[in-house]
Amino acid sequence: MKQADGKYIFEALNWASSFLEEHGREKNVSELALRHVLKMGRTRLLLNLREKLSLSEWFAFQKLIYQHVDGTPIQYLLGYEEFFGRKFVVNPDVLIPRPETEELVLGMLERVKKYFGTCQGLDCIDIGTGSGAIAITLKLEMPELNVIASDVSKGALVIAEENAKRFGADIQLVEGDLLEPFIGKKRFDIIVSNPPYIPLSDRGSLSTVVKDHEPPSALFGGLDGLDFYRKIIQQLPHVIKEKALIGFEIGSGQGQAIRELVRELFPLIDIEIVNDINGKERMVYGYIE
């Protein structure tokens, strides 16, 4: 397969896994990095554990591992992260999509069908789209939706546009602060957002991989983590239709506070707080009618 220098794939993986664990990093990064270097899927990699790396492959693999141990997220080094089975381009201008956000999208897909019965002609806005993962996935999974994605960051919108073109997703991208660009101009059936929700007081407990490399504007939501929810909720009456579905990703333990914020403006709203696969509060869905 490759010109040998004596380093087998299984040896490279064992070295990297141990090195990563010694430095407090996730050992599964070793497999992601080596698959990237060798341009192999997981099955093929596992079937070739006793093949040897070339010298250039070994050096490239080591470089990725050392850079990640120094703090750079592996997704930024590889240039992508998988979300809903698709490889989304990411860079330091955007938050790296998380598995929890896949749960938010799946929950929205299920609830749109149940609440509206049809996707035809529904208008959807993804607030603070970042890489575009939420908006693009919703559009690809429900092509009948009219999807707009907004972000205040020009750099993020560049990446979102690249991802939309990459997957052929016909979405509209709008630069602006939360729902401000649409007040008095457009109303929506569906509003979804994964806003920054980490309290500033939690910064010290975050991994350096996160707090020193991912954009702070996409991580922190003020002293209690709720600043962006307050702003979005205050803007909702000006942009929603008479019947609307709202979906937020939230931080663990924030569900009741967000329920109360929403009910200040919508006393009769039906609110659903849903845990993620790890049993932590992660999604809030609201039904306005």
Binding residues for substrate are: 194-197
Bind-site residues for S-adenosyl-L-methionine? 128-132, 151, 194
Contact between 163 and 136 under an 8 Å Cβ cutoff? The reply is: yes
**Other CB atoms closer than 10 Å to residue 242's CB: what's the count?**
8
Question: Which residues neighbour 24 within 8 Å (Cβ) at sequence distance 6 or greater?
Answer: none
Q: Which two tokens stand for residue 165?
A: 């073109």
Q: Are 148 and 114 in contact (CB under 8 A)?
A: no
The string over 186-204, giving b where at least 16 C-beta atoms fall within 10 Å of a residue's C-beta and e elsewhere, is: eebbbbbbbbbbbbeeeee
Annotated binding site: 128-132, 151, 194-197
